[in-house]
Amino acid sequence: MSPPLLICSAFAAGAVGLHLARTLPQAPFWALVLGAVAVGVSVRGRWLVPAAVCSGLAWSAVHATLALDHRLDAPREATVDAVVTDLVQHGERSTRFMVRFPQPAEIGGVRRAQLIWYGVTRPPAEGERWRFDLALRPPGGRLNPGGFDRERWLVTRRLDATGTVVDGHPLGAPGPGLDRVRAAVSRHLRAAVNHEQAGAMLAALAVGDRRFLNDTTWDALLHTGTNHLVAISGLHVGLASGLGLLLGTGGWRLLGGAAARVPAPVAGAVIGLLTAATYAALAGFTIPTQRALLMLAVVLMAVAARRPVRPLYLLLVALTGVLLIDPLAPLASGFWLSFAAVACLGLLLRGTPGAPAAWRWPALQLQLGVAIVPLTLALFGHAAVLAPVANLVAIPLVGLFAVPLTLMASALVVIAPETGAFVAGLAAWVLWLFLAFVDGLHAAAAGLPRPGVPEAPLAWLLLAACSLIVLLPGAVAPRLLALPFAAAALAATQDGAVPGEWRATVLDVGHGHATVLETSGGSVVVDAGRRGEAVNALLARRAPGGADGLVLTRDRAGHRGGAERVELAPEAWRVAAGDVEKGCRGTPGPHGRERSHLRFIDGPLARGACLVLVRGPSASLLLATGVEPGQAIRWESLPSVDAVVLPAGGHRDAVTPAMLDALAPEVAIVPVDAGNRHGLPHPETLARLERRGIDIHITGRDGAVELVASDGLQIGPRRRQAGWWNRP
């Protein structure tokens, strides 16, 4: 590897490596880093590589530190001027949008914020300047296994606060801006077609506007592995560049004298790059478009200099450029998928002069789909089984037909509305075919098994070996060895829990409760939270076939609101809290092994309540979330436990001294959101727990809490495993 490539690789390793830390390094570490950089620059030679690594570390650390310094520390109210940025999302009862504050010093250095406005009659539009009365909050989010890390997303978008609009009024007419152009193009394209979801796809491909894709369409795209086609990626930017190159080269040759001074290929390359840059700007300059633009720019310089360019050089230059522009880019999943896909394609096409034959593209697509399965599992917690097959049809259909028509429609719909509407209709027809294909494939694949996320290191090693075998050069026969490796990885993914042991994950669902219990006999969901999203995200990773049982301990929205959305196995059993005379009632499971570790406490011990006792040789857990405040429970008749999930968010009339004396737990978990308006958990409850030396965990503060009964009770709050961007 040449010295420039080696230095680029070292810088990228340092810039990416910083984001693996859970906390940012302190001053002594940075003194060592700066010293290494100074020595490397002065001595050069072999010292340049460690100096480049340290430079990457320092570059990412500076931006990470700035991102944390600008975050709002505590809730506050403010009246401030702001400019609406990005695309405004309109809902039935609220409007969400992002704003930029021209004078950050007025609100503690906050530069940008995400706002929501309930019941607004005249919502803000893109690019407008408003004066808002705001109730701002520090950026935060719930932390659950496999769930959406909102704090991470906020940091990547440079959003320093979230908040609610109390009132506001516009300050003059909006000026010209890219976001207004994006919104206008999206509006014109959707109005030009009759099919709602085809129009939504058209807007997504044209300007990256995915606001109008409904949940049904998203589910079909996700489960068939074709959702990447909705995001404007390097493939789309490359197609735009190719279209500009062809039109630019042909048009330049018609100019005669100009073509004699500047060769038509060079002029066409410049026009192609400008076309790609315009498309990337309309998409919002996402990471894949940045990578594609940088690679195209390097190719353009090589064309101008008439020098060949190696694919590895292109990829490393693009990687370094993206990290220089946005060192927080590695926090986004698109960063890893974008560069991994290009790297895999480069390996598959190595030694191939020019473009591969058309018959090789299906094989390449299948190989690429298999090669990135480990990365997809690690990033998203699921992998679409039919993704390689679906993309064989979807990529040519969207890439070769829909994208060129969308680009032409986007350019024509404003300057020549009738012609643009006609082209948009053609693009929408192609996208309708695409959606019909995806919907049909999704329905056909409904009964197929979905792989979970492996937890054993052996399974990950086997998956990595499978990917490497697929990328091997040569004939197809050696690549068939990937099949036994894949089968072994799936076998290693299966739950190997010892009978009697259990794992319970008390999820962070706000004011309510949801726990997923896993044993060698199956998985049981105890309450589902308000929406069920956190439960399904965990089940997708650990029990992709659905839970074997569902228990609802309390008839409240925070407990059973998401019950209808929870993924359950076909023969799953259900138990729900009954009326005043009955505790837990429901349909017993078809097999006793799913319930052998559970005991439902009701009747004379807990009349009208549904308590769940989880037993095992190593530890026991009581889920007391079915208890109402002030409800009479014969606690003295219950056995002592190692841990308890407290009822009513830690209400003082639900967590009584008699309860704590009888149960004598070592660990207490309070399922409630931080900073809730009810002031829970109650200070008296916390005092009672502290006086007894009980280890307290609050889901709104600590995130999801995982308890593993294996040689004792092991506790793992999610926030303890979080990255530097998660608020402590």
Q: Let me know if 367 is exposed, middle or buried by CB neighbors in 10 A (0-12, 13-18, 19+).
A: buried
Handedness of CA 305, 307, 308, 310 (dihedral sign): negative
611-614 β-sheet, strand order? 598-601, 611-614, 621-623, 643-645, 667-670, 695-698
Report pLDDT for 590: 44
Predicted confidence (pLDDT) at residue 672 exceeds the cutoff of 60: yes
Contacts of 192 (CB under 8 A, 6+ apart): 199, 409, 413, 420, 421, 424, 425, 428
The larger pLDDT score, comparing residue 490 to residue 365, is at 365
Rounded CA gap, 183 and 88, in Å? 9
pLDDT in tens, 141-175: 999 998 899 999 999 999 999 999 999 999 977 77
Mean pLDDT of 27-46: 69
Predicted confidence (pLDDT) at residue 570 exceeds the cutoff of 90: no
Predicted confidence (pLDDT) at residue 705 exceeds the cutoff of 80: yes
Report residue 321's pLDDT band, with 50, 70 and 90 as the boundaries. Answer: confident
Using H for helix, E for strand and C for coil, what is the string for 148-197?
CCHHHHHHHCCCCEEEEEEEEEECCCCCCCHHHHHHHHHHHHHHCCCCHH
Predicted confidence (pLDDT) at residue 22 exceeds the cutoff of 80: yes
The larger pLDDT score, comparing residue 551 to residue 499, is at 551
Other C-beta atoms lying within 10 Å of the C-beta of residue 613: 17
Domains of the chain in start order, with CATH, are: 3-69 (no CATH), 76-175 (2.40.50), 179-225+384-451 (no CATH), 238-359 (no CATH), 457-493 (no CATH), 502-721 (3.60.15.10)
The larger pLDDT score, comparing residue 262 to residue 185, is at 185
Report residue 189's pLDDT band, with 50, 70 and 90 as the boundaries. Answer: very high
390-423 exposure pattern, b = at least 16 Cβ within 10 A, e = fewer: bbbbbbebbbebbbbbbbbbbbbbeeeeeebbeb
Largest CA distance in the chain: 99
Best mean pLDDT range from 406-415, 479-488, 506-515 = 506-515
Other C-beta atoms lying within 10 Å of the C-beta of residue 34: 13
Chain-centre distance of CA 86, in angstroms?
Answer: 19
Element (H, E) at 552: strand 547-552
Query: Which segments within 450-501 are labelled E, that is strand?
Result: none
Rounded CA gap, 703 and 698, in Å? 7
Chain position carrying tokens 């197809």: 476
Cβ atoms 701, 670 nearer than 8 A = no
Other C-beta atoms lying within 10 Å of the C-beta of residue 54: 23
Average pLDDT, the chain: 85
Other C-beta atoms lying within 10 Å of the C-beta of residue 125: 15
Region of residue 581 (phi > 0: left; psi between -120 and 50: alpha; otherwise: beta) = alpha
Best mean pLDDT range from 106-110, 361-365, 542-546, 673-677 = 106-110
- Of 196, 136, 205, 130, the C-alpha closest to 168 is 130
Q: Give the angle 372-10-354 at the CA atoms, nearest 5°.
A: 50
Predicted confidence (pLDDT) at residue 580 exceeds the cutoff of 60: no
Please report, as a single letter, which amino acid is at residue 393.
V
How far are the Cα atoms of 149, 315, 338, 349, 356 from residue 342, in angstroms, in the given order? 26, 8, 6, 10, 15
Report pLDDT for 21: 86
pLDDT in tens, 657-669: 999 999 999 999 9
Report residue 330's pLDDT band, with 50, 70 and 90 as the boundaries. Answer: very high
Report pLDDT for 593: 38
Cβ atoms 127, 100 nearer than 8 A = no
Report pLDDT for 331: 92
Mean pLDDT of 216-242: 82
Report residue 99's pLDDT band, with 50, 70 and 90 as the boundaries. Answer: very high
Helix 196-207 × helix 215-224 angle, to 10° = 60
Please report, as a single letter, which amino acid is at residue 498.
V
Region of residue 196 (phi > 0: left; psi between -120 and 50: alpha; otherwise: beta) = alpha
Mean pLDDT of 579-587: 57
Element (H, E) at 426: helix 417-444
Predicted confidence (pLDDT) at residue 247 exceeds the cutoff of 90: no
pLDDT in tens, 409-438: 988 887 888 999 999 999 999 999 999 999
DSSP letter assigned to residue 265: H
The larger pLDDT score, comparing residue 605 to residue 277, is at 277
Predicted confidence (pLDDT) at residue 686 exceeds the cutoff of 80: yes
Report residue 491's pLDDT band, with 50, 70 and 90 as the boundaries. Answer: low
Residue 137 β-bridge partners? 162
Mean pLDDT of 180-195: 91
SS3 622: strand
DSSP letter assigned to residue 95: E
- Of 111, 65, 25, 60, the C-alpha closest to 328 is 60
How far are the Cα atoms of 66, 377, 519, 645 from residue 566, in angstroms, in the given order? 40, 21, 19, 21
Cβ atoms 294, 322 nearer than 8 A = yes
Report residue 702's pLDDT band, with 50, 70 and 90 as the boundaries. Answer: very high
Report pLDDT for 58: 87
Chain position carrying tokens 């968010």: 649
Report pLDDT for 360: 67
Predicted confidence (pLDDT) at residue 286 exceeds the cutoff of 90: no
Best mean pLDDT range from 305-314, 326-335, 356-365, 588-597 = 326-335
Contacts of 188 (CB under 8 A, 6+ apart): 413, 414, 417, 420
Q: Which of 461-470, 484-493, 519-528, 537-546 has the lowest mean pLDDT?
A: 484-493
Residue 80 β-bridge partners? 132
Report residue 359's pLDDT band, with 50, 70 and 90 as the boundaries. Answer: low
SS3 29: helix
Report pLDDT for 169: 94
Predicted confidence (pLDDT) at residue 19 exceeds the cutoff of 80: yes
Report pLDDT for 223: 84
Predicted confidence (pLDDT) at residue 184 exceeds the cutoff of 60: yes
Predicted confidence (pLDDT) at residue 638 exceeds the cutoff of 70: yes
The larger pLDDT score, comparing residue 107 to residue 245, is at 107
Chain position carrying tokens 């929870």: 566
Region of residue 358 (phi > 0: left; psi between -120 and 50: alpha; otherwise: beta) = alpha
Handedness of CA 435, 437, 440, 444 (dihedral sign): negative
Which tokens hold the place of 75? 């809730």
Q: Which of 494-503, 558-567, 623-632 has the lowest mean pLDDT?
A: 494-503
Predicted confidence (pLDDT) at residue 633 exceeds the cutoff of 60: yes
Report pLDDT for 306: 65
Report pLDDT for 424: 93
Cβ atoms 420, 188 nearer than 8 A = yes
Report residue 594's pLDDT band, with 50, 70 and 90 as the boundaries. Answer: very low
How far are the Cα atoms of 47, 211, 314, 490 from residue 200, in angstroms, in the given order? 53, 8, 34, 37
Report pLDDT for 49: 81
Predicted confidence (pLDDT) at residue 406 exceeds the cutoff of 70: yes
Report pLDDT for 257: 66
The rounded radius of gyration (Å) of the Cα atoms in the chain is 28
Report pLDDT for 592: 38
Element (H, E) at 683: helix 683-691
Residue 705 β-bridge partners? 506, 717
Rounded CA gap, 299 and 531, in Å? 49
Predicted confidence (pLDDT) at residue 581 exceeds the cutoff of 50: no
Cβ atoms 389, 363 nearer than 8 A = no
Report residue 110's pLDDT band, with 50, 70 and 90 as the boundaries. Answer: very high
Residue 613 β-bridge partners? 599, 622
Predicted confidence (pLDDT) at residue 304 exceeds the cutoff of 80: no
How far are the Cα atoms of 1, 48, 409 from residue 275, in angstroms, in the given order? 33, 37, 14
Rounded CA gap, 281 and 276, in Å? 9
pTM of the entire predicted model: 0.88
Helices H / strands E in the chain, number of each: 25, 19
Predicted confidence (pLDDT) at residue 336 exceeds the cutoff of 60: yes
Report residue 596's pLDDT band, with 50, 70 and 90 as the boundaries. Answer: low
**What percent of the chain stands above pLDDT 90?**
40
Other C-beta atoms lying within 10 Å of the C-beta of residue 308: 7
How far are the Cα atoms of 504, 508, 669 from residue 649, in angstroms, in the given order? 18, 12, 9
